[in-house]
Amino acid sequence: MTPRKALPIGMVESPRAPRFLLRIPDGLRAHLGEVAAANRRTLTAEILARLEASTEGESIDEHGVIVRVLKRRQSTGEVAA
């Protein structure tokens, strides 16, 4: 039998996807729960959507530095921050 590979701290093995245990302050958790309900998402789906949106356009260069690609807003032509 092959030995199991150790998971990073906070990760729990799951048949669907790795689970990550995260401590969120109560007020933030309540707010995210309300927003998730308004968006018809689970709390997990809301957190993932926000993480994905906040990292959109990012890459890591050869020096390990995060590089953000500036996008132009389609409607106004302004540069997104």
Q: How confident is the model at residue 33 (pLDDT cuts 50, 70, 90)?
A: very high
Average the pLDDT over 3-29 and give the result: 75
Check whether 66 has a pLDDT greater than 90.
no
With CA atoms as reference, report the closest residue to 24 among 6, 40, 44, 54: 44
Per-residue pLDDT at 13? 62
Give the integer Cα–Cα distance in Å for 10 and 61.
Answer: 27
Q: What is the pTM of this model?
A: 0.60
